[in-house]
Amino acid sequence: MISTHSLFEGIVNTQTYTWSTDKGKEHSYNISDIWKLTKNHKVITIPVDRFVLDEDIWFTKYSTPSPSEVLKHTNRILSADLKYPILLDTHFVKPGKKIKYGIIDGAHRIVLAMYKKKKNIKAILVDLDDMPEIKNKK
């Protein structure tokens, strides 16, 4: 098992995100809080070809896909570091099934891994329901 404690040092994403449960309740979380809480979680590998990235996760709520916004994401993709695992919500990761939703952190790393034709990517599975300390923290 690899501890994520040392991995957390390189993660600079401190954005706050909101997600809705299947019962319609909204929760907010800060990426850096989740990284801190996953410091003892196991790092696994997941085949890159399990990801289906055909939904808009970058532009829908936050910005218009203008050339400058696309350039921002291109820069983030090309500067992503694959030594850091991605964070995935366990509710969306089913054995042998494609992964379409549930990327908590790491979409730019997934795209970079696809671009570089990597077979696998490091990941940490997170059950957000088991982390009440991050819910609705502002």
- Per-residue pLDDT for 5 more than 70? no
**Overall average pLDDT of the 52-63 stretch:** 75
How many angstroms from the chain centroid is the CA of residue 38?
13
- Rounded to 5°, the CA angle 136-4-135 comes to 5
- Residue 116 is part of which domain span? 5-130
- Confirm whether 67 is domain-assigned: yes
- Confirm whether 137 is domain-assigned: no
C-alpha distances (whole Å) from 103 to each of 14, 67, 68 are 15, 24, 24
- Confirm whether 136 is domain-assigned: no
Q: How would residue 86 be classed by pLDDT, with cut points 50, 70 and 90?
A: very high
- Per-residue pLDDT for 1 more than 50? no
**Overall average pLDDT of the 114-121 stretch:** 97
pTM: 0.78
Number of domains in the chain: 1
- Per-residue pLDDT for 15 more than 80? no
- Confirm whether 138 is domain-assigned: no
Whichever domain contains 64, its CATH number is 3.90.1530
- Confirm whether 135 is domain-assigned: no
- Confirm whether 125 is domain-assigned: yes
- Per-residue pLDDT for 110 more than 60? yes
